[in-house]
Amino acid sequence: MANPPARDMAIKKWKEFLLNPKYNFRYIVGDSGTCYVNNDYFADVIYRFSLRDSIENRFIKTIDYVAEDVSHSKEEKFQKIYDNHIQNKTAKYRLIKPLTILVTKDISACKRLKEDLIKFIADKERISKDAASNKVLIVTSANEHKDNIPKLKNVDDGDDPVEWITSVSMLSEGWDVQNVCQIVPHEERAFNSKLLIAQVLGRGLRIPPKYRGEQPVVTVFNHDKWSSSIKHLVNEVLEIEKRIYSYVIPKDRNYNFQIHNVDYKKSEEIVETPMVSEYKFSKGFISLSTEDQVQKIEEETIYERVITEKQREKKTLIEFKIYSAEEVAQIVHNRYKSWDMDEGTDYVQKYPFDKIFSIIKNSLRDKKNLINEEGRQKILKAFGVVKRKGSKSPRYKIEPENLFLINTSDINKNPLGIGALRRESSIFYDDYSLKNGEDDDKKVLKEIIEMFEDGELHSASLVKVGNVFNFKTPLNIVLASYKPERGFVKRLVNEENAKKIDAWIKSLDVGFYRVEYSWRKGEHPKQGSFNPDFFIKIGRDILVIEIKADADISNENRAKLRYAREHFNRINKLQSEYNYYFKFLSPTSYDLFFHALREGKYKAFKSKIEAELDEPERASL
């Protein structure tokens, strides 16, 4: 009952009992399997037997999760999940009836997923929807699903028909089943905090009695674009959750400084797009790819084992639904007839069946006249433009409204789990870190130093700055999350560079200094914001640095560069106290940048990645 929503009512009654002076309890000790509020570990834990300990002692299953995968559609993803399920059922765990749990962010998403899954199973196994429905159990806190919760007691039984469970990540009722062999977080929000990961994994880590003495694997089929954040979160859940914090401390020299920012007034204007022409097929064909006619393809998914980080490859034969060119032409023709009847148009006269069929045939690279679902959708979309008359869409205008100052002394605490030091993260520290930090953090830092000296951490996980006057930041320690950041900080504390700098600070990922931007992803406008990585003060100049990996060229990064330049140019016009220079940097340009910094030529410096981002935007797919 440690986490909402179950806590809200039950904990009040329980707390009343515990605090009742009638009983006068001297000590109150609780236990929980999910000692988190979102990403924060409970502050008053006196002993922890971690998931990592449990896995290493073979008390629970171990975990594989997706590191790399290409699934172009919901259908492909279902096929890979189904292939894992059947492999568990027929090859890996034949002594039990393996279960797959699919987890969503909320009840409405769970209901939609259940229907999609039933339809997929019915088609795949060539059974009725009723028969497929018997294999799927939906478990949520909704009243309509209340009767399903007692059924969980029987799902491990071999004669129970349920093989698939759809559930909500924050389900208030706790429940455990033993035969879970696959967990599918259906959206990122179902698996984006340590609390949710601990809860979701907790659903499937018990080892079935028939496999005691062995260590089965539960496969987590997450979207690969989440893999880096999931890897970080999962590994921190598995580690002993000690944390160290970065924050401002007093030093003999004051390295705090102020930074200008701007509040913007946003206003929305409506932009009208002119009527869409028939350009998509006016040349007598539609632009299709070879993939739009593929009937079967073997796709590879790479899974990574927690703790050991060993990877394995798994290939799945993906089968696509296939249509003939005649079928697709008939669908288009029927739509045109329907539109003509409803709206008095003359599409059928302009585009009779033979003309539609000819355009589709001319579009096919493989002359077998067969099209898969993706190709079919492209064709229907292309022919659909004849009905699109034009559109109105909102566009946001921003106007500077209020110039204000941020002081680096007000930056929030930034935490790092010790487990992250076993991977790419690093800590930079000096003698002040051990002298002026908070007691808990000084103690944890000493433990980290011992771990480093004992060879438990990688060689770059801990860097001591020998001369405190080269560590010109107000922070007690500086946390570098990945190699490009580490390389930049190493150069900042190099004596040759440090003597040219007055002060610097590493920003937070969220919440210290935000720059808003927008870009287009395909046909859709996107809004976003980012926090530049570093602020460096040199006299009256402030260099604002955004760090990227080499060759990280994207339309989104182009937008970040463009909007940040405009933002800091605007600040330069609104005040005269400081001059701001925004730079995109990647490791390949670090040495040239710091050479320019030492020479006082940093104002005009442009990195390789910034020059590439200045090139015209490419169309997003």
Whether 22 maps to a domain, the answer reads yes
pLDDT-based confidence at residue 523 (cuts at 50, 70, 90) = low
Between CA 109 and CA 167 the distance in angstroms is 10
Residue 291 within any structural domain of the chain: no
Share of the chain above pLDDT 70, in %: 82
What average pLDDT does range 37-52 have in this prediction?
A: 65
Per DSSP, the residues of 332-394 read HHHHHHHHHHHH---HHHHS-HHHHHHHHHHH-SSTT-EEEHHHHHHHHHHHHGGG---EEEE
pLDDT in tens, 99-126: 999 988 889 999 999 999 999 999 999 9
* Total count of domains within the chain: 4
Domain residue limits at 344 = 321-387
Phi, psi (rounded to 5 degrees) for 112: -65, -40
Average pLDDT (152-172) is: 86
Cα–Cα distance measured from residue 66 to residue 82, given in angstroms and rounded to the nearest whole number: 15
Q: Are β-strands 258-273 and 40-41 bridged in parallel, bridged antiparallel, or unpaired?
A: unpaired
The 10s digit of each residue's pLDDT in 243-300 is 899 999 999 999 999 999 998 877 666 555 544 444 457 778 887 767 788 888 888 8
**Residues 6 or more apart whose Cβ sits within 8 Å of residue 200:** 103, 169, 183, 185, 190, 191
The whole-number pLDDT of residue 3 equals 45
Mean pLDDT, residues 585-599 taken together: 92
Task: Decide: 165 and 101 in contact? Cβ < 8 Å.
Answer: yes
- Model confidence at 81, pLDDT cuts 50, 70, 90, reads very high
Average pLDDT, the chain: 84
352 shares its domain with 412: no
**620: pLDDT confidence band, cut at 50, 70 and 90?**
very low
Q: What is the mean pLDDT of residues 88-106?
A: 93
What does the pLDDT look like over 231-246, one tens digit per residue?
Answer: 655 655 555 457 899 9
Residues 375 and 412 in one domain: no
pLDDT confidence tier of residue 618, bands split at 50, 70 and 90: very low
Among 238, 256, 284, give the residue marking a domain's end: 238
Whether 205 and 62 share a structural domain: yes
Domain membership flag for residue 272: no
CATH code where residue 171 lies: 3.40.50.300
- Out of 127-131, 142-146, 258-262, 468-472, pick the least confident: 142-146
On whether both 516 and 473 belong to a single domain, the answer is yes
Residues 228 and 256 in one domain: no
Same domain, 441 and 573: yes
Task: Tell me whether residue 292 is in a domain.
Answer: no
Residue 541 banded pLDDT, cuts 50, 70, 90: very high
**Does the pLDDT at position 595 exceed 60?**
yes
Is a pLDDT exceeding 80 seen at residue 597? yes
Which residue has better confidence, 33 or 455?
A: 455
- pLDDT score of 462: 94
- Shared domain for 249 and 339, answered yes or no, is no
Please check whether residues 338 and 360 belong to one and the same domain. yes
Regarding whether 552 and 458 lie in a shared domain, the answer is yes
Give the whole-number percent of the chain exceeding pLDDT 90: 44
Residue-wise over 542-581: b if at least 16 C-beta within 10 A, else e?
Answer: bbbbbbbeeeeeebbbbbbbbbbbebbebbeeeeeebbbb
Judgement on whether residues 132 and 14 belong to the same structural domain of the protein: no
Q: Is the pLDDT of residue 55 over 50?
A: yes
> What confidence score (pLDDT) does residue 195 get?
64
Return the SS3 of 301.
Answer: strand
Lowest mean pLDDT among 100-109, 172-181, 191-200, 374-383: 191-200
Residue 13 tokens read as 């009654």
Indicate the range of 26-30, 223-227, 460-464, 573-577 predicted with least confidence: 223-227
| pLDDT, position 383 | 86
User: Do 183 and 225 belong to one domain?
Assistant: yes
pTM for the full model? Answer: 0.54
Residue 394 pLDDT greater than 70, yes or no: no
Of 79-93, 299-313, 326-340, which gets the smallest average pLDDT? 299-313
Confidence of residue 446 (pLDDT cuts 50, 70, 90): very high
Give the H or E element holding residue 574.
Answer: helix 555-574
For residue 197, give both structure tokens: 């990961």
Distance CA(20)–CA(307), nearest Å, equals 44
What pLDDT, on the 0 to 100 scale, is given for residue 538? 97
Q: What angle do CA 594, 596, 601 make, to 5 degrees?
A: 145
Asked whether residue 196 carries a pLDDT value surpassing 70, the answer given is no
pLDDT reported for residue 70: 77
The reported pLDDT for the residue numbered 250 is 93
Confidence of residue 507 (pLDDT cuts 50, 70, 90): very high
Q: Are 571 and 544 in contact (CB under 8 A)?
A: no
Domain membership of residue 117 (yes or no) is yes
d(CA 258, CA 267): 29
Distance CA 347, CA 336 (A): 6
- Which range has highest mean pLDDT (103-107, 172-176, 581-585)? 581-585
Could you give the C-alpha distances from 101 to 51, 117, 118, 129, 183, in angstroms and in order?
20, 12, 14, 19, 5
What is the pLDDT confidence band of residue 619, given thresholds at 50, 70 and 90?
A: very low
**Boundary residue ending a domain (238, 256, 289):** 238
Residue 309 resides in a domain: no
pLDDT of residue 38: 57
pLDDT surpassing 60 at residue 391: no
Contact present, 150 and 165 (Cβ < 8 Å): no
57 and 36 within one domain: no
Give residue 363's pLDDT band: very low, low, confident or very high (50, 70, 90): confident
Q: Is residue 573 part of a domain?
A: yes
User: CA 553, CA 204: separation in Å to the nearest integer?
Assistant: 39
What distance in Å separates the CA atoms of residue 211 and residue 458, rounded to the nearest whole number?
Answer: 36
Is residue 26 assigned to a domain? yes
Mean pLDDT within 338-356: 89
Q: What is the pLDDT of residue 400?
A: 80
